[in-house]
Amino acid sequence: MLDVGGESTRPGAARVSAADQISRVVPIIEAIRSHQDEHVSGIPISVDTTRAAVARAAIDAGADAINDVSGGTEDPELLAVAAASGAGLVLMHRAQAPPSDRYADEYQREPTYEGGVVAVVREFLQSQAERAIAAGIAPECLVVDPGLGFGKSVPQNLELLRAGRAMSTSDVPVYIGASRKRFVGRLSITGPSDPEDRLAGSIAATILGALAGAVLHRVHDVAEHVQALSVLAAWNEPEGRGVYLGSPCGPDTCG
């Protein structure tokens, strides 16, 4: 699946209006859907947005799913858009919006999560999944994401990565995005690092997340991660080919 977004979610990023997001993402989605190669035109697409208007426009243009990093909290209409369209929905936990956020290794004092980061994030994701179902979204169209790097310190990100499947107290699949994040660089490289230098650490984090039960993985270096996950699939199922398929939810059921 391709994840198309018109607003950066990195710490410190400025907000982008719904109109500007639409002007950025809709032409890309339309271009993919109209591509002459059916392998390109038929690929599943998610739109990375917290705004209902952007989600609606993207779905109208051909997107299959909504990736909401606010977990359905920023725009109350977004859940209704997902329910009406039958689109898939990723609900992520974040501590605060990007302008107020900071990188995982920049905290002088670890962010406070009463009862522990795993318990707090799990409770939030469960609550938001229940809200989504109450809004009319089919359970099989939901995915939850603990939000690695979003308002968590390096140790807290590791706790969430270890928790994996435990982030969901129901049958909702767990999705993680560790690729190229600052906490990965801090764990894998001595001293400062650029995002493109974090491939090996990203693959390691993704594999550890998969071992802990996550079944969907947001990555930048797709081919390399597919190879690594395919080896893990072969290890888990020695009789199989080892090709990693990941998601239990395809375009014939929901986005």
Largest CA distance in the chain: 53
Nearest Cα to Cα of residue 154 among 200, 197, 186, 178: 186
* DSSP characters over 86-145: T-EEEEE--SS-GGG---GGG-SSPPP-TT-HHHHHHHHHHHHHHHHHHTT--GGGEEEE
Active-site choice (181, 182, 186, 198): 181
Which of 129, 3, 8, 125 shows the shortest CA–CA distance to 65? Answer: 3
User: Residue 149 carries which side chain, given as an amino acid letter?
Assistant: G
Q: Could you tell me if 40 and 27 are in contact, meaning their C-beta atoms sit under 8 angstroms apart?
A: no
Q: DSSP secondary-structure letter at 188?
A: H
The active-site residue, picked from 56, 180, 186, 218, is 218
Would you say 231 and 241 are in contact if contact means Cβ atoms under 8 Å apart?
Answer: no
Direct distance between the N- and C-terminal alpha carbons of the chain, in angstroms, rounded to an integer? 9
181 catalytic, yes or no?
Answer: yes
Measure the CA–CA gap between 97 and 100, rounded to whole angstroms.
Answer: 6
Contact 54, 15 (CB under 8 A): no
Q: 3-state SS of the chain: helix, strand, coil percent to 5?
A: 45, 10, 45
Catalytic: 51? Answer: no
Task: Report, as residue numbers or ranges, the catalytic residues.
Answer: 181, 218
